[in-house]
């Protein structure tokens, strides 16, 4: 019996290979994947070859233990069912529907402790990593009542961040994206205004908090420019090996604006007295259950057509926001 495994083989090149289905160890389970989600942020950096080959794929996730040196596996959003258990794993795991931070492959083995049982629809469940990132960004920003907030980038993570921020009693929530369909969706999720980057030239924004989630280094410079005195710029983007040029002249020097990185792999020490990753994940799953985000998944293709899915995301063609791969 064989499985299908996706490999990144060169910049803008992926290959789906047939490999033997692994046998679960005594303390492991075998999962049959139903659907996996392609991250249009970090994963596109990997697809484009914009991450150093020596960089670890993710030291915090069991399913990602290599580097970005070709060929490599990547991906971290899989939903499936447990098909088989090892001798030391309870039978109650059989046929359980689970989420895993696992690369794109039709079957995989995992430690049950690394799996998240879920009843969420698959198009909601594959958003768990993006929603966890969005929750982390908002936690790190600590928006106050009456705050003026701007979110740069309305991909899946940006849209989820917008939806979370819309639950706060803000004075104004503004989003910025090149794509008109993404701007329209951000309005439906609670943005007061949704602008193209050029639209910022015609208005005066004195933001208390700006989120840079576009992955575009130029947007970070703009975020600094529109953030007011002693405001905060939260950077959730990973730019990989792109060059970042910032205007840090007189205006910035006197601004007391704070630039803060926010990344989901760890909980910021500022929250560690009351929060850990398990509590954060509980909030993520309840948020996905309560709010309707299914419209974020715009395209689903069989894993055999993975190359088309990456090309769509890379070019942002056909109104794509979130693409997933299916396994039959």
Percent of the chain at pLDDT > 90 equals 74
**What's the whole-model pTM score?**
0.94
What is the separation of C-alpha 261 from the centre of its chain, rounded to a whole number of angstroms? 15
Phi, psi of 316 (to 5 degrees): 55, 40
Average pLDDT over residues 259-264: 88
Residue 205: pLDDT over 80? yes
Average pLDDT over residues 163-178: 97
CATH fourth-level superfamily of 130-271: NAD(P)-binding Rossmann-like Domain (3.40.50.720)
Strands 78-85 and 116-117: unpaired
Residue 298: pLDDT over 70? yes
Helices H, strands E: what count in the chain?
A: 9, 15
Tokens of 162: 């917008």
Q: How many residues does the chain have?
A: 328
- Ranges of CATH 3.40.50.720 domains, the chain: 130-271
Say which residue the tokens 């069989």 belong to. 302
Average pLDDT over residues 272-279: 88
pLDDT score of 59? 66
Contact 118, 140 (CB under 8 A): no
Q: What is the Cα–Cα distance from 17 to 6, expressed in whole angstroms? A: 6
pLDDT score of 179? 92
Lateral strand order in the sheet of 207-212: 193-195, 172-176, 148-152, 207-212, 227-235, 258-261
Average pLDDT over residues 48-76: 86
Tokens of 151: 């979110």
> How confident is the model over 217-261, as pLDDT tens digits?
899 999 999 999 999 999 998 887 788 877 777 777 778 889 999
Residue bearing the bigger pLDDT, 326 or 268 = 326
Contact 177, 183 (CB under 8 A): yes
- Considering the domain delimited by 2-127+294-326, tell me its CATH architecture: Alpha-Beta Complex (3.90)
- Ranges of CATH 3.90.180.10 domains, the chain: 2-127+294-326
């Amino acid at each position: 019996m064989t499985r299908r495994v996706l490999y990144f083989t060169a910049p803008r090149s992926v290959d789906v290979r047939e490999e033997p289905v692994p046998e679960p160890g005594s303390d492991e389970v075998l999962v049959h994947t139903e659907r996996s989600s392609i991250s249009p942020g970090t994963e596109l950096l990997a697809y484009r070859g914009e991450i150093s080959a020596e960089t670890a794929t993710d030291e915090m996730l069991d399913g990602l233990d290599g580097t970005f040196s070709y060929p490599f596996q990547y991906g971290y959003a899989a939903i499936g069912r447990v098909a088989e258990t090892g001798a030391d794993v309870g039978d109650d795991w059989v046929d359980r529907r689970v989420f895993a931070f696992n690369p794109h492959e039709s079957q995989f083995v995992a430690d049950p402790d690394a799996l998240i049982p879920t009843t969420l629809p698959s198009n909601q469940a594959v958003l768990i990593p993006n929603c966890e990132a969005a929750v982390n960004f908002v936690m790190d920003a600590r928006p106050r009542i009456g705050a003026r907030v701007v979110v740069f980038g309305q991909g899946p993570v940006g849209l989820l961040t917008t939806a979370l921020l819309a639950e706060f009693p803000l004075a104004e929530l503004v989003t910025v994206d090149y794509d008109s369909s993404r701007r329209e969706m951000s309005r439906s999720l609670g943005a007061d205004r949704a602008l193209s980057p050029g639209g910022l030239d015609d208005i005066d924004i004195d933001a208390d908090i700006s989120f840079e989630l576009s992955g575009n280094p130029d947007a970070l410079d703009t975020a600094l420019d529109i953030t007011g005195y002693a405001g905060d710029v939260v950077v959730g983007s990973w730019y990989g090996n792109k060059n970042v040029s910032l205007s840090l002249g007189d205006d910035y020097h006197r601004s007391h604006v704070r630039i803060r990185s926010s990344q989901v792999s760890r909980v910021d020490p500022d929250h560690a007295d009351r929060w850990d990753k398990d509590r954060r994940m509980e909030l993520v799953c309840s948020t996905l259950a309560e709010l309707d985000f299914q419209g974020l998944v715009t395209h689903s293709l069989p894993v055999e057509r993975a190359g088309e899915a990456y090309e769509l995301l890379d070019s942002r063609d056909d109104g794509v926001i979130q693409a997933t791969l299916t396994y039959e």
